[in-house]
Amino acid sequence: MIHFLLAALIPVVSDQAADEIVKAGQFLDKAGLCPATAGNLSVRLSSEYAAISISGKHKGELTSDDVLVVDFQGKPQNTTKKPSAETLLHTVIYSLFEDVGAVLHHHTLNGTVLSRLMANEKSFVTEGYEIHKAFRGHPTHESRVEIPIFENSQDYPALAAEVAAYLQEHPETLGFFLRGHGLYTWGRDMREAKIRVETFEYLFESEIKMRMLRGL
């Protein structure tokens, strides 16, 4: 009886959350930002749980059955389905920022190339772009956006702790790179998260083209 009551307290994936994740996967796939089975997508369910895409599924082919519930320690709830090994990088964001409603991780080609070109840099900075105004809190092009670059690692608990420490010191951060891997960004809801993805992609492509024209 106690087990039944506890299970009833664990939130299930709502139709809305599943639909948002499925459509976000289609959005990223259409833009070519999640090749093969890359990327992971999530939506906050409560102060303790999130819905996230399962591991190993093409993001353009997700269905509502490919979404599961995890707690903020990254543990799947009432399911045998497997979440991404990178789940902790989602849940640490939800834990730190109560206003975050969605997190997107995609394997941006331009961003990944930039992070490898900047092998000795710990962050990527853009300045003076009009499109900065798409970011909440940046009302003018006369602004500076800094994206930290973390070294890629398969030790996700350690990586999540490193990311958490940085975000606690820099709560204004809009996203972060895993070098040679991809980008994490988020928003108050899925709409804002997708806007940030598009904004970052514009910035990355602009910087790649400028460096090509300058001969690196």
Contact 43, 50 (CB under 8 A): yes
149's tokens: 């670059």
For the chain, the helix, strand and coil percentages under 3-state DSSP, each to the nearest 5: 45, 20, 35
Give the model confidence (pLDDT) of 35-64 as tens digits: 999 999 999 999 999 999 999 999 999 999
Minimum mean pLDDT range among 118-122, 137-141, 181-185: 137-141
Give the model confidence (pLDDT) of 123-140 as tens digits: 999 999 999 999 988 888
Q: Is 3 helix (H, G, I), strand (E, B) or coil?
A: helix
Sign of CA dihedral 198, 126, 115, 204: positive
Domain 2-213 = CATH 3.40.225.10: yes
Q: DSSP state, 83?
A: B
